[in-house]
Amino acid sequence: MKTTACLLLIGLACAAPGLTFAQQPNTCSAAFVGNRMLVDQYTTTGRCRLSAKTTGELTVRTVALSPTATRAIDKIGFKVAIRDKSTGTLRMYAGHTFQKLPLQRVLASCRKGDRIVLLTVDNRYALPHNEILVQ
Instruction: Transcribe 39-103 into DSSP letters.
Output: BSSSSTT--EEE-TT--SEEEEEEEEE-SS-EEEEEE--EEEEEE-TTT--EEES-SS-BS-EEH
Of residues 12, 24, 21, 28, the one with CA closest to residue 72: 28
pLDDT (0 to 100) of residue 108 = 97
**Other beta carbons less than 10 A from residue 130's beta carbon:** 20
Q: What is the pLDDT of residues 36-51, one digit of tens each?
A: 999 998 888 999 999 9
Determine contact, residues 83/89, Cβ cutoff 8 Å.
Answer: yes
Domains of the chain, residue spans: 25-134
In this prediction, residues 61-86 reach a mean pLDDT of 94
Better-predicted residue by pLDDT, 112 or 67: 112
In this prediction, residues 75-87 reach a mean pLDDT of 97
Q: How confident is the model at residue 66 (pLDDT cuts 50, 70, 90)?
A: confident
Phi, psi of 64 (to 5 degrees): -100, 120
pLDDT (0 to 100) of residue 4 = 32
Q: Side chain identity at 43, as an amino acid letter?
A: T
Strand 48-50 with 131-134, pairing: parallel
CA–CA dist 70, 107 (Å, integer) = 26
Burial class (CB in 10 A: 0-12, 13-18, 19+), 84: middle
Specify the pTM: 0.80
Q: What is the pLDDT of residues 102-119, one digit of tens each?
A: 999 999 999 999 999 999
Q: How confident is the model at residue 1 (pLDDT cuts 50, 70, 90)?
A: very low
